[in-house]
Amino acid sequence: VAQCMNMTIDEKIDEVKDIMDSFFDPLDRYRYLMDQGELAETFKEEYRLPEFKVAGCVSQVWLVPEYKNGVIKYYSDSDAQITKGVVTVFSNIYGGHTPDEIVSSERNLTEELNFGNILSVNRRNGAYSMLLKIKEYAKACKE
């Protein structure tokens, strides 16, 4: 996902959706997500703390918010490659936006990105937990 600061959340979602929809083979979508995980920024070891773990994920997932200059950036990692790809995509979509923009985004990414084709029910539930955590952090920054 382009880390363009001038793209809206909706534009970023549409971009990822277009990429995902361009793959006819579910395996290619799976590979795309795994590639996103490989392209992720290096995750700092000091962020591997229990308070940054996302509950409800099959694998271990860390999601760390950084609120600066009115926008939130998310740092993320997972011990499973596919999950790392999912959390990286989510971090790129929502990162660089204000808490208001993040909280007011109503789109259902697990549906729109058609994760049902490539992720098990448990992984889809984990993806949903990641999205809830992203919004939870954004809400906390608004208070």
Name the residues annotated as catalytic. Answer: 57
Helices (H), 40-115: 81-94, 99-104, 109-112
Distance between CA atoms of residues 68 and 70, nearest Å:
5
Nearest to 115 by CA among 39, 43, 23: 23
